[in-house]
Structure 1
Amino acid sequence: MSKKRKTRHVALDGLSWQPVVRTHAAGLDFDEGLLELEEVVGVQVEYHQTANGRVATFTVDDSKDIPTAVEKQARPQTTIASGEVTQTAFAERRTITAFDSNNLLPEWHSFSLHPQLYAALYSQKFVNPTPIQSLTIPKALGGCDVIGVAETGSGKTLAYGLPILHELLTSATSSPPPPKSRRPLRALILAPTRELALQVSAHLNTCLNHHDATTTADGEPQKQKRKTTSDRGREGGPSVPRSPPLVSVAAIVGGMSTQKQRRILERGVDVLVATPGRLWDILEEDDELAEDVKNLRYLVLDEADRMIEAGHFAQLDSILRLTRRQFNEVVTDPEFRSEHQPAPSNDASPWPAMQTFVFSATLSKELQQNLKKRWQPRGVKKNNGPASTLDDLLLRLDFRDSEPEIINISPEGGVVSTLKENRIECLATDKDVHLYHFLLRYPGRTLVFLSSIDGIRRLTPLLELLGLPTFPLHSQLEQRQRLKNLDCFKSQAHSILLATDIAARGLDIPSVSHVVHYQIPRTVDAYIHRNGRTARAQRRGFSLLICAPDERRVARALFGSLGRQVTDVEEMNVEHHLLDKLKRRLRVAKEIDAVQHRANKAIHEKKWMRVTADALDVELDSDYLSDNGADRSSRVRDSRLVRLRADLKELLSQPLVARGVSTRYITYGSRPVAPAILAGEYQEGMIGVEKTDASANAVPLKEKVVTNAVEFEEWTGIQHCTMSA
C-alpha cells in the first residue's frame, strides 16, 4: 500500500520562486521587455470551475521538503565554509584583495589601483597603459577635472573608468553597502548613441567581474573558475543566493524595455551609463533619481562634441542643469532662490564635490561645420557666440576647477599613423560597381558609411543578391535589430556593415579591416570618427573614399579643414577590365530587386485598400476584388524572376579572369597562373588577381610605370590595338 503524499494549497506569492539564469543574447533576441524570468519546482497547478470563472490553485508536495518563499525568508542563510548562521541573507561578496601588480603589471603599478582592477587588466591582457591613460589617470585620481582629446581607439573609456571604479571599489570594500537598501547614484556617464552606451557599460562591468588569479610555483598566474550557486548544490554544499556586486553598473538607453530599466533604477546603481533622451524621460517621473543626479560624485561626457552640438540633444541641457552646484550670479528673488538653490546644510557630505570628465576625439568647432553649405563670406560674425567647443563646455558644465586639466594628444590632420587612406574618383553611377569590386577584391570585415538611410535600403538587397553577407545599421531600425545586426557583423570574419554615422562614434568592433566612405561626410569630425572604426589600438587599418564629380568641392573642403590636399591621398589601383563583368551582375541584381519591390508594393497597396475599406464600411468594386488579373500578372512576374535569378546565378558562377591569363591553358600564356593557384596566392573566384592587402595595392598614379601592352590595359582599362599602314 503506497504512502499518501502530504500536500497543501498555497497562494501565488507563497511559492518557492527561483531566478532563471539567462544569457545576454537570449535577453536581447527573444524575451526583450520581460522584467525577470523565474521558475518554481515541485508545484502542481489545478484548475477549478467556479461561479466567477476558471480559477487556478497551487498544490505543494511537502514530502519533497521544498520551502515556500515565506519560509525561505524566515530561514537564515549559511556560509559555505563553516555552516554557521550569518547575519545577512547574502553570500560573501567576492573581490580581489591582493594582486602582485609590481611583477605582473609593472607599467600599471605606479597608479596604485584597486586589486580588482589590476586583476581585470591582467585578465584582458592590457599590459601597458595607453598615452591618454598614462596622462589622465594620475590627474583623475588626484581629484582634477579632465578634458581629454585623443585619437579613436586610444582607450579613453578606461582612462575615465578606472579612476571612478577605483574610488567606488575602495569605498565599498571598507564599508560595504547594506544589502537591501537602495544604492544612491554616484557616477553618471552620458553617451550620444545607444550602441556606445551599451559598450561602455559592458567594458566597465568587465572590470568588475570576478577574476581569480593566484600565483603558481613558477610565478605564473593560475585562473580558477568561480563556483556558482548551482555548482555548490551539485557538490552537496548548501545553496546560497547570488551576492550583489560591490559596485553595480547599468545602461539606460532608448529602444529597450522601459519597465525593466525602471526596475533596475529602483534597486539603485552606482554607475549609470545613459543616452540623454531616455534618461531625461525617466528623470521627469523619478524624483529620487533626480535627487541623485543633483548629488553626483562623477559626471562623464563621452564623445562630448557630438552631444553639445546645437539641436541634437535638447534634454542634455536639462540634465546638466541638475548637476550644477552653484549659480554664477547672485539671486535676489527669494522664491526663485528657495526653489532652485539647495538649502545650506551643516552636515558634512561623505562624498566630495562633483568631478567632471569630458572626452572626445575631436573638440573643435571648425571640424563640425557643414561642408555642403556655402561658405560664409569673411568678415564680422553674425553672432558673438562661443568661439570653440571648449568654450561651450566651460559655460555649460559646472567644473570644480576654474581651469580644468586639458590633455590633448590628438594626431595632426586627424589621421593615426597606422591608417592608410586611398580614394577612387568615378561617376556617381559607377559607385556601386567600384564598391562591389572592392568588396570582392579585398574580403574582410568592412564598414561602409552612407549619409542617407535610403542609400542603405537600396544597397542592402543588392549586395545580398550578389551573395555578400550584408547587415544594415541605422536609426530607423528597432534597437533589438540594431544590436543583432551588430553582433552578426562582429561574429563573421568576412562581413559588411552598411551604416550611417550612428556607428561612427566610439564603437569598438574588433578587427575592422576596411572603412569605405561611400558618401562623403558633411563634417570633418564625422570623417575622423568614421576612420576611427579601423586602425584601433595601434593596429593597421585602411580607409577608402569614393568621390563623385559633384562631391569634389566637398572633398577639397574636407581635407582643407585638416590642413591637407586631396592629392595627398593616393588613388586606388582598380582592375578596370573586371568592372564590365561586375556591371552585368549588378544590372541583373537591380532588375530582380526592382521586380520584387513592385510586387511587394502592389500587395501592400491592395492590403491597405481592403483594411481601409473595412474600417470605413465601404464595399469595394468586384473588379478590384477579383484576383484574375492579379494572378496573370503574378505568373508573369514569377516567371521573370525565375529567369533573372537563373541569369544571376550563371553570372556569379563565372570566375573573374585577369588580363593575360588563359583559363583553358593556365600553365601557358603571357601570365602562367597554375603555380600561384596551387600556392593559394590568388583571390577566390578571381583568376590571376593576386591576394594582397588593400593598402599594398594602392599605387599613386604619378609613380605608375607602364612597361607593356598588358599593363597598359590593366591600368587604363583601354583595349590595346595596333594599326597597320
Structure 2
Amino acid sequence: MEMNKQTGSETFLKRLSLNSFNKMQLEFMEKAKAEAPLMLLAPTGSGKTLAFLIPMIQHLEVNDSSALIIVPSRELALQIMEVFKSLKTNFHACICYGGHSMKTEENRLNEKPQVIIGTPGRLSEHVQKGNLNDINISLVVLDEFDKSLQFGFHEQLRVIFERLSHEQKYFLTSATILENIPDFLPFKDYEKVSFLKEGEVMTLLLQLVRTSSVEKIDTLMRLVADFGQESTLVFCNHRDAVDRISLLLTDFGFQHAVLHGGLEQIDREKNLIKFRSGTHQLLIATDLASRGLDIPEIKHVVHYQLPPKKDAFIHRNGRTARMMAEGQSYLVLAHEESLPDYVDNNLPEYELRQDFKVPEPSNLTCVYISVGKKNKISKGDVVGFFTKKGGLKGSDIGMISILDNATYVAVPTDKVDDLFANTDGEKLKKLKVKMEVAN
C-alpha cells in the first residue's frame, strides 16, 4: 500500500463480499476521522469489529506507526485476527495471549508489526519485559472494554497504559454503558456512537422452567432433548457445574461440547469449532461464551444458573435473537430459588414434554488434519485435497478452521470412512499428514 493514501470503504466491501456496511458501522467510521477518543456502544453481534478495524487501517495507512488492540479473552483476540486477515491489507499483525508461545510473540514484536492484538495479562508481561519499547503505537483500541473491567484486569491495563505516551488516538467498544472511566486512561471525556436501546436485547421470548433442586440436572437434560437438533447454548456460573452436566449428558448419549476457563486452549478452540461448524449442536459453557465470540445464530439459550448481575444476563441472551433473528431463552429455576430483581416475575412457564428422546447426533463429523498455518496450509489446499484425492464434492465440505498446527473440517458423517480410505498415504501440499475424527 502507498503511504499517505487511504483505502476507501468500497474496497473493503469488495474484499469482504459485502453490499454495504450497517448504519452503526458507517456512523462510527465517519466519527473516527476526528482525533477525540471515541466510544462505540452497541449490542453483541452487531458488527463492532469491522466498525473499528477499517478506520484503524486507514489511520495506519497515513501514519508510519502501529495500533494496539486490547481484548478481554484469547478467543476474541483470535476472532479479531481472522477478521483483520479477511481485510487483506499489507500490514503485519501479531497476536499475544496466555497459552501462546511467549518466544514466538517476542520474535514477532521484534519485527515491529503494525497491528498488535492481545489480552491484558499477556500484554502487561510484554510491557514489563520491554518488548513494546521500540514500537511506535499511535492508536489504541479497547475492545469489549466493559468486559475487561468486569474480569478485573485493572492492574494489567494500568501497567500497559503507563508504557504509552498518552498521545495516542483511542477507540473503545462496549455492549453496556460505562458509569465511570478508570483513572489509568489519559482522558475523561470522549465522543460516543451509541446504538444501545433500552430493553432491545430482551425482546426474545423468555420462559421459566420450574423444577426441584434434586431434579435440576435431569430437568435440564429433558429440556435440551425437547430442542432436538436445534442449536442450543446452556450457561452455568461455574466450571464445575459445566463438567457435572457434561458427565450426565455423556452418560445418556447427548452429543455436546463444553467451554470454560479451565480447559486447555486447544480444547477450547476445538470445542468452539465443533459448535460453530454444526458438528455439535449443544454447548455447555460459563460466561466465557457470552461475549465477543464468533458463534453462529443460536436458537435456544438456557440459563441453568442465573448470573448475579443484569449485564451478564443480557449478554447471555444476546447470543440468540441477534440482528432481528428469532430466539428463545429459558430459566431453569429450582422451587427454593428466587428470581433476581432484573427478571420479570410474570414469565410464562415452559411445559416439558412427558416423553424423552435423546436427539440424533449431527450428520456432520469434525475431521482433524495434522497440519495448519505454520505449514502454509490454506482452505483452498484442503478443498483441493478432499475433492481430488478424497473423493468428496465441494458441496460436501463444511466449515474449515485452520489453526497454527492443526486443521478441522466438517464433513458428512457417512462419507468420513471413504475420505480416510481415499487419502491414506496421499500427501497434502507435499506434506504427509495424519487425519482422524477430532476427539
TM-score after normalising by structure 1: 0.46
1:323–1:398: 8 Å Cα contact kept in structure 2?
Answer: no
Residue 440 of structure 1, aligned match among 201, 207, 225: 225
Higher strand share: 2
- Aligned partner of 1:422 in structure 2 is 207
Following TM superposition, by how much is the alpha carbon of 1:435 offset from its aligned partner in structure 2, in angstroms? 1.9
SS in 2 for 1:268: coil
- Aligned partner of 2:311 in structure 1 is 525
Following TM superposition, by how much is the alpha carbon of 1:566 offset from its aligned partner in structure 2, in angstroms? 2.7
Q: Distance between the aligned counterparts of 1:310 and 1:529, measured in 2?
A: 14
- Aligned partner of 2:173 in structure 1 is 359
Following TM superposition, by how much is the alpha carbon of 1:448 offset from its aligned partner in structure 2, in angstroms? 1.0
SS in 1 for 2:330: strand
Q: Distance between the aligned counterparts of 1:118 and 1:170, measured in 2?
A: 18
1:114–1:170: 8 Å Cα contact kept in structure 2?
Answer: no
Counterparts of 1:16-31 in structure 2, within 5 Å, are none
* 1:556 aligns to 2:340 (yes or no): yes
2:15–2:87: 8 Å Cα contact kept in structure 1?
Answer: no
Residue 181 of structure 2, aligned match among 392, 411, 414: 392
AA aligned opposite 1:405: E
Following TM superposition, by how much is the alpha carbon of 1:206 offset from its aligned partner in structure 2, in angstroms? 1.0
Q: Distance between the aligned counterparts of 1:271 and 1:166, measured in 2?
A: 12
The C-alpha deviation readout for 1:8-66, integer Å capped at 9, x for no partner, is xxxxxxxxxxxxxxxxxxxxxxxxxxxxxxxxxxxxxxxxxxxxxxxxxxxxxxxxxxx
Counterparts of 1:475-494 in structure 2, within 5 Å, are 475-492=261-278, 494=280
Q: 1:123 to 1:435 in 2, by over 3 A?
A: farther
Q: Distance between the aligned counterparts of 1:541 and 1:124, measured in 2?
A: 27
- Aligned partner of 1:467 in structure 2 is 253
Residue 198 of structure 2, aligned match among 403, 412, 421: 412
The C-alpha deviation readout for 1:518-554, integer Å capped at 9, x for no partner, is 11012211111111222233322222221223431xx
Q: Distance between the aligned counterparts of 1:440 and 1:310, measured in 2?
A: 33
Following TM superposition, by how much is the alpha carbon of 1:478 offset from its aligned partner in structure 2, in angstroms? 0.9
- Aligned partner of 1:248 in structure 2 is 92
SS in 1 for 2:124: helix
- Aligned partner of 1:639 in structure 2 is none
* 1:574 aligns to 2:417 (yes or no): no
Q: Distance between the aligned counterparts of 1:468 and 1:310, measured in 2?
A: 32
Q: Distance between the aligned counterparts of 1:495 and 1:309, measured in 2?
A: 29
Q: 1:137 to 1:153 in 2, by over 3 A?
A: same
AA aligned opposite 2:26: S
- Aligned partner of 2:34 in structure 1 is 142
Higher RCO (CA-CA < 8 Å; seq separation 6+): 2
AA aligned opposite 2:174: S
Q: Distance between the aligned counterparts of 1:143 and 1:416, measured in 2?
A: 35
Say which one has the larger Rg.
Answer: 1
Q: Distance between the aligned counterparts of 1:540 and 1:310, measured in 2?
A: 30
- Aligned partner of 2:46 in structure 1 is 154
AA aligned opposite 1:354: Q
- Aligned partner of 1:328 in structure 2 is none
Residue 187 of structure 1, aligned match among 57, 63, 67: 67
Following TM superposition, by how much is the alpha carbon of 1:475 offset from its aligned partner in structure 2, in angstroms? 1.0
SS in 1 for 2:324: coil
Q: Distance between the aligned counterparts of 1:571 and 1:166, measured in 2?
A: 51
Following TM superposition, by how much is the alpha carbon of 1:516 offset from its aligned partner in structure 2, in angstroms? 1.1
The C-alpha deviation readout for 1:61-84, integer Å capped at 9, x for no partner, is xxxxxxxxxxxxxxxxxxxxxxxx
Residue 274 of structure 1, aligned match among 118, 125, 137: 118
Following TM superposition, by how much is the alpha carbon of 1:502 offset from its aligned partner in structure 2, in angstroms? 1.4
- Aligned partner of 1:208 in structure 2 is 88
Q: Distance between the aligned counterparts of 1:434 and 1:144, measured in 2?
A: 52
- Aligned partner of 1:455 in structure 2 is 241
Q: 1:312 to 1:430 in 2, by over 3 A?
A: farther
The C-alpha deviation readout for 1:550-598, integer Å capped at 9, x for no partner, is 431xx33233xxxxx231x3322322x22xx57xx9xxxxxxxxxxxxx
AA aligned opposite 2:221: Y
Counterparts of 1:493-642 in structure 2, within 5 Å, are 494-552=280-338, 555-559=339-343, 565-567=344-346, 569-575=347-353, 577-578=354-355
* 1:169 aligns to 2:61 (yes or no): yes
Q: 1:123 to 1:440 in 2, by over 3 A?
A: farther
* 1:315 aligns to 2:156 (yes or no): yes
AA aligned opposite 2:276: K
TM-score after normalising by structure 2: 0.75
Q: Distance between the aligned counterparts of 2:63 and 2:243, measured in 1?
A: 51
Q: 1:513 to 1:169 in 2, by over 3 A?
A: farther
- Aligned partner of 2:77 in structure 1 is 197
2:67–2:116: 8 Å Cα contact kept in structure 1?
Answer: yes
1:447–1:497: 8 Å Cα contact kept in structure 2?
Answer: yes
Following TM superposition, by how much is the alpha carbon of 1:157 offset from its aligned partner in structure 2, in angstroms? 0.9
AA aligned opposite 1:446: T
Q: Distance between the aligned counterparts of 2:95 and 2:10, measured in 1?
A: 24
Q: How many residues align?
A: 355
Q: 1:155 to 1:572 in 2, by over 3 A?
A: same
For the aligned residue pairs, the C-alpha RMSD in angstroms reads 2.5
Q: 1:428 to 1:131 in 2, by over 3 A?
A: farther
SS in 2 for 1:551: coil
Runs of at least 4 residues off by over 4 Å = none
1:190–1:276: 8 Å Cα contact kept in structure 2?
Answer: yes
Structure 2 unmatched runs, 5+: 359-439
1:324–1:397: 8 Å Cα contact kept in structure 2?
Answer: no
Following TM superposition, by how much is the alpha carbon of 1:409 offset from its aligned partner in structure 2, in angstroms? 2.0
Following TM superposition, by how much is the alpha carbon of 1:170 offset from its aligned partner in structure 2, in angstroms? 5.1
Q: 1:208 to 1:356 in 2, by over 3 A?
A: same
Following TM superposition, by how much is the alpha carbon of 1:312 offset from its aligned partner in structure 2, in angstroms? 4.0
SS in 2 for 1:411: coil
